[in-house]
Amino acid sequence: MSKHEKTKRPGQIILGWWTRELGSRKTGEQKALSARLRRGDDVTVLCHKPVHQLAQALGLRDGTRIARLARVLAHVREDAKASLPRRLGVGDPPALSPLRFERLVQSSDEDVETAIRRALPTVRHSVNVAHLGAAILFWNDRTRTNWCFDYYRAVAPWDNQPEDVSQ
Amino acid present at 58 = L
pLDDT in tens, 79-138: 999 999 999 999 999 999 999 999 999 999 999 999 999 999 999 999 999 999 999 999
Please tell me the predicted confidence (pLDDT) of residue 3: 53
Please tell me the predicted confidence (pLDDT) of residue 103: 97
Please tell me the predicted confidence (pLDDT) of residue 157: 76
- What's the Cα-to-Cα distance from 64 to each of 61, 127, 137, 161, rounded to whole Å? 9, 23, 11, 24
Homologous superfamily assigned to 3-151: CRISPR-associated protein Cse2 (1.10.520.40)
- What's the Cα-to-Cα distance from 140 to each of 15, 94, 137, rounded to whole Å? 21, 24, 9
CA–CA separation, 142 and 70 (whole Å):
22
Tell me the whole-structure pTM to 2 decimals.
0.88
Confidence at 20, pLDDT banded by 50, 70, 90: very high
- Residue ranges covered by each domain of the chain: 3-151
Q: At what angle do helices 10-18 and 49-58 cross, to 10 degrees?
A: 160
